[in-house]
Chains A and B, each alone.
Chain A
Amino acid sequence: MAIELKVSEVKMGEAYVGKWGMVIDQDMCTGCQACVAACAMENNLSFVGETDSGYGRSMHWIRIERFWEGSYPEVKMTPNQPMLCQQCGAATCEPVCPAFATVHSQAEQLNLQVYNRCVGTRYCANNCPYQVRSFNWRDYKRPEPLPNQLNPDVTVRRRGVMEKCTFCIQRIHKAQDKAKSEGREVVDGEFTTACAQACPASAITFGRVDNPDSLVSQLARVHGHGVKHLEELGTLPNVTYFKGG
C-alpha cells in the first residue's frame, strides 16, 4: 500500500506533509532514558534480559544513541540522539512485507504493524534504514507482579512477530474519541506520546505537523535548522531533529 506519490512531484519535505509528527531537540536531551522506560511501560514491551540485550536483541521502540568524536584523550561526546520509528511518508519497510503486515494508515499517516498478520520474515527490519524495528525472538517471561502493569489498550505480542513505535496510536485514538464525544477537534497539546510526556527536559514535542499553529510546526519554523535523518533516501520521515543550535 505505497502512498500515491511520484518522485518528480515531491521536493523533499515540502510537497509532502504528514499528519502526526515529532520534533526532538538533541541539545536538550540529557540521555536520562526516561523516554525509553516510559515507552516500555506504555506499550507493553518485553524485558529481554541481559544476555539477549547484549546480543542486540533489546526490545526498545525508542533508544538513546550515544556517539563520541575524536580519539582518546581528546574525546568529545556529541549530543545524545533519541532514535525511534520516523513514521516515514514513503517507508521502505512497507513494500517488502509479503503478507501486508506492515502497512500505511491512510487516516493517521502512520506506519502500522499488524501483529497478528506478521509471519516473521524480518524483511521490514532489514530494509529499515533507521534500524528501529524490534523482533520478538522468544516469548519473554513477565514475573508475577509485572503483568499487573500491562496497558490494556495495547496488544501483548508473542514470539516470531515484528513490532515498532506506533506514535502511541492508542493515545491518539483516545484523544480523538474524547474530542468527538464532546463535539470538537483535538486541541494541540491535549495529549502527547509516552516518551514526550516522560521527558524531563521537554526535548520531545509531539503534535500535528499539518497544522501550522501547532507547537511542533512552530518549533520547526522557529529553529529553521531541523534535519531529518537519512532524508537522502527519500523516505520522507516525520521526525525532525535539532542539534547545535
Chain B
Amino acid sequence: MAGYNKKAETAHVKAEHNQHDEEHFREKHLMLDPLPRGQMNDMVMESMYTTSWKFWVVFAILSVIVAWGLFYSWGRMILEGLGIAGVNRPAYWGIFLVNTVFWIGISHAGTFISAILRVFKAEFRRPFTRAAELMTTFGLVQAGFSIFMHMGRVWVFYWLMPYPNERMLWPNLHSPLTWDLLAITTYLLSSTMYLFLPLIPDLAMARDRSTGWRKNFYKILALGFRGTEGEWSHLRNAMSIFAFAIIPVMFSVHTIVSWDFAAATRPGWNSSIFGPYFVVGALHSGMGAVIMVLAVVRGTMKNMKYFIRPEHFDAIGKLMLIISMTWAYFFFNDYMVQWYGGDKWTHMLLHFHESGPMGWMWFAMLIFNIAIPWAVLWNQKWRSTPWIVFIVGLLINVGMWFERYIIIPISLSINRMPFTWRLYHPGVEIPLGIGTLAFFILLYMAASRLIPLIPVWEVEEGQMAHELKKFGRETVVTVSELE
C-alpha cells in the first residue's frame, strides 16, 4: 500500500519515537488497530441489540409515512386511475420514472463499492461493504415500487414478463422497457445473493451468540455454516465469482435504463452518450448516499465509531470527487454534442432547460453536482468530517434527482408539436415519492437491528493481514496476501 508508506514517512518526520508512530497509525487506521476477536464480535452484537426510544419513535413515524405515502396513496391511484397524479400530455412520464432512475442510481454505489473495491483489493472497503450492499437491495425495492406505480394497469404487470401462456404472447424484445424489467430483476436477484454470501459467516457468528427467536432466525439464515476450511474455500470461490460477475451486470442495468430515453425519438433524449452518462450519474448519487448512510450509522449506532473512521470518509470522499469530475465531463459532452447537432427542437429544449420556468433547477443541479463537491472534497480535513460529507452527499443526491427531473418531465414538456406544449405539475407523485424514501429508511433501520451491519470476519481478516513492521528506526505497514 503506497499510501500507507507515504503516510508512514511523513509521520516519521513528525514523531520522534517509533512508539508515537505506532499510536498514530492505530488511531487512524482500523486495519492497524486490532481488537481481540471475541470483543469485536460482541461489539457488533451489542450494536444490533441496542435500540433507544429515539429509534422506535423514528421507526413509528416512518411506518405511518409508509402507510400513508406508499400504500394508501398507491391504493387510491390504482382505484381512481393515474388522473390523481400529475402526468399529462405531453409529459406522459413524471416523477415515477424520475424516482425509478434515482433509486436504481442509489443502488449502484452499493455494488460498486463492494464489488469493484473487492476485486481491486482496496483495504478501506472492509468495514462498510455490507452497509453499501444493503443499500443496493433496498434501493432496488424502491425502484421496483416506483416503476410499478407508473403503470396504468399495474394489476396486469406480469404481461411484461416472459411466461408460458396459451396464446404464445411474449413481451416485445424490441422495447427497452422489457429489457429494463429483465435487467432490474437480474440485478435485484444477483445483488441479493451477493449481499447474502459474505453475510453467512457473520450470521453464523450471530447464531452462536444469541438466544430465543433470534437464534432460530440466524440458524435458518446461516445455512449451518461452521467455519471449516472447506466451507471457507467454497464461500471465497462463490464470492469472487459474484464480485467479478456483478460488475458488468451493474453497468448494464443503468445503461439499459438510459436506453428508455436514448432509444426514443424525443429531442433531448436521443443521445448516444446516455449510457455511460447515466452509469456515472448513478455512481454519483450512489456514493453520496453511501456516505450519508455511513455518517448516520456512525453517529447513531453503538460501537460504530471504532469501525467507521474518518479514514473511510476520506477514501469515499476522494472517490466522490473523481466521480463528480467524471460526471461533469459527461454532462458537458452530452450537452455539447446535442447542441452541436443543430436540431432546432433540441436547441429549443436546451434553451428551455436553462431559461424556462424551471431554469433554477438546472443551475441548482450544476451547483450541487459539480461546484459544491469540487469546493469541499479537495480538502482532506473537510472530507474526513462526517457532518460535512453528509451535507455534500445530500446535496449531490438532490442535484442528481434534479438531473433526472430535467431529463424526464421537463424535457417532455417540449416536443415537435408546439400545440401540445405544457408544463408538468406533480400530484400524488409527491406522497408516493416520500413513501418510497421512508420505506427505504425503514427497511434499513430494521435491517440494522437484524443483521450484523459490519462484516466482522472481513475486518478481522484485514487486521490479520496488516502488520506494522520496523525496519531499523522506521515503522512500515505491510499487507500480506491472505486469499
Q: Which residues of A contact B (CB under 8 A)?
A: 2, 52, 55-58, 63, 65-67, 81, 83, 92, 95-100, 117-123, 125-127, 129-131, 134-139, 159-162, 230, 233
When chains A and B are docked, how far (Å) is the Cα of A90 from the Cα of B159?
25
Q: Which residue of B lies closest to A48 (CB)?
A: B83
Secondary structure call for the B interface: loop
Point out the residues of chain A lying under 8 angstroms from B82, CB to CB. Answer: 120, 135, 137-138, 159-160
The closest CB in chain A to the CB of B269 belongs to A126
Which residues 160-207 in B have Cβ within 8 Å of A in the complex?
A: 160, 169-172, 174-178, 181
Residue numbers in B under 8 Å from A55 (CB-CB): 88, 422, 425
| A83–B83 touching, CB < 8 Å | no
Residues 401-413 of B, flagged 1 when their CB comes within 8 A of A and 0 if not, give: 0000000000010
Verify A160–B153 contact, CB threshold 8 A: yes
Q: Are A95 and B81 in contact (CB under 8 A)?
A: no
* Contact in complex: A95, B175 (CB < 8 Å): yes
Q: Bound state CA distance, A129 and B265, in angstroms?
A: 7
Q: Closest CB-CB distance, A228 to chain B, in whole Å?
A: 13
B419 engages A63 (CB within 8 Å): yes
Given A56-B88, A98-B175, A130-B417, CB of A119 within 8 Å of CB of B156: yes
Q: When the two chains form their complex, are residues B172 and A56 in contact, meaning their CB atoms are under 8 A apart?
A: no
Task: Supply 5 A–B pairs (Cβ within 8 Å), ascending by A.
Answer: A52-B83, A57-B88, A57-B89, A65-B419, A119-B154
A119 near B152 with CB under 8 A, answer yes
Chain A nearest CB, measured from B297 CB (Å): 37
What interface size band does chain B fall in? 35 or more
Residues of A within 8 A of B80 (CB): 138-139, 159
Using Cβ atoms and an 8 Å threshold, which residues of chain B touch A135? 82, 89, 92, 152
Interfacial chain A residues near B419, Cβ < 8 Å: 63, 65-67, 81, 83, 131
A95-B172, A96-B264, A120-B151 are contacts. A129–B178 as well, Cβ < 8 Å?
no
Contact assessment for B176 and A57 in the assembled complex, using a CB-CB cutoff below 8 Å: no
Q: Which residues of B contact A136 (CB under 8 A)?
A: 81, 152
A99 and B420 contact, Cβ closer than 8 Å, known pairs A121-B177, A125-B92, A160-B151: no
Contact of B353 with A by CB under 8 A: no
A119 near B153 (CB under 8 angstroms)?
Answer: yes
- B177: min CB distance to chain A, Å: 4
Instruction: Pick the contact of A97: B90, B93, B175 (CB < 8 A).
Output: B175
Say yes or no: B420 contacts A56, CB within 8 Å: yes
Closest 5 CB pairs of A and B: A120-B152, A160-B152, A159-B81, A138-B83, A56-B88
When distances are taken between beta carbons in the complex, the residues of chain A under 8 Å from B176 are 96
**Are A123 and B152 touching (Cβ within 8 A)?**
no
Contact call A96/B416, Cβ cutoff below 8 A: no
In the complex, A164→B420 CA distance in Å? 16
Centre residue among B159, B265, B416 by max chain A CB count within 10 A: B265
Alpha-carbon separation in the docked complex, A81 to B188 (Å): 48
The complex places the Cα of A96 from the Cα of B261 at a distance, in Å, of 11
Known: A67-B419, A131-B417, A159-B152. A126 touches B92 (CB 8 A): yes
Quick one: which of A98, A137, A160, A162 contacts B172, CB cutoff 8 A? A98
**Roughly how many angstroms separate A208 CA and B160 CA in the complex, as a whole number?**
36
- Docked complex Cα distance between A151 and B150 (Å): 31
Q: Is the CB of A122 within 8 A of B415?
A: no
Given contacts A122-B152, A136-B152, A160-B151, contact A131 B169 (CB under 8 A): no
Report the nearest B residue to A230, measured CB to CB: B416
Provide the residues of chain B in CB contact with A100, threshold 8 Å: 169-172
* Cβ contacts under 8 Å, B87 to chain A: 122, 137
Q: Is B449 an interface residue (CB 8 A)?
A: no
Which residues on A sit within 8 Å (CB–CB) of B157?
Answer: 119
Report the minimal beta-carbon distance from A7 to chain B, rounded to whole angstroms. 14
The one of A67, A96, A118, A230 that contacts B174, using a Cβ cutoff of 8 Å: A96
Across the interface, name the chain A residue whose C-beta is closest to B260. Answer: A123
Minimum CB–CB distance from A238 to chain B (whole Å) comes to: 18
